[in-house]
Amino acid sequence: MIDAMPTTDTPTVYIVDDDEAVRFAVSMLMFSCGLRALAYESVAQFLAAKGDTAGNGCLVLDLNMPEHSGADLLELPGMLLPAVVITGFPDSPQAERAR
């Protein structure tokens, strides 16, 4: 997990991507904009750390990840965090699910 700016009153951008370079780059971009960024390498890691799917912030979410996809996370009951979806494979079935 990368914690780019650990203040509790700033909205948090939760980055869920299995690519370490993407997690780092997006975290640094959020930090440069004055936002808090927490990055996770999997949906399971995000859910274990976050504990809920609501709160002050949003998701930047990769669709194509091993085990659980970003679309799986978006389809969880009670998912209240808005999401920006990113993928290197826009023609995949996962991209169609995220629409």
The token pair that represents 54 in the structure block: 């609501």
Q: Which residue has the higher pLDDT, 1 or 65?
A: 65
3-16 pLDDT, tens per residue?
Answer: 554 456 778 999 99
28-39 pLDDT, tens per residue?
Answer: 999 998 899 999
Contact status, residue 63 vs residue 91, Cβ threshold 8 Å: no
For residue 31, which of 53, 56, 7, 1 has the smallest C-alpha distance?
7
Q: Which residue has the higher pLDDT, 51 or 87?
A: 87
Region 43-65: mean pLDDT is: 85
Under the banding of pLDDT at 50, 70 and 90, the label for residue 75 is: confident
What is the pTM (predicted TM-score) of this model? 0.80
Chain centroid offset of residue 71 CA: 11
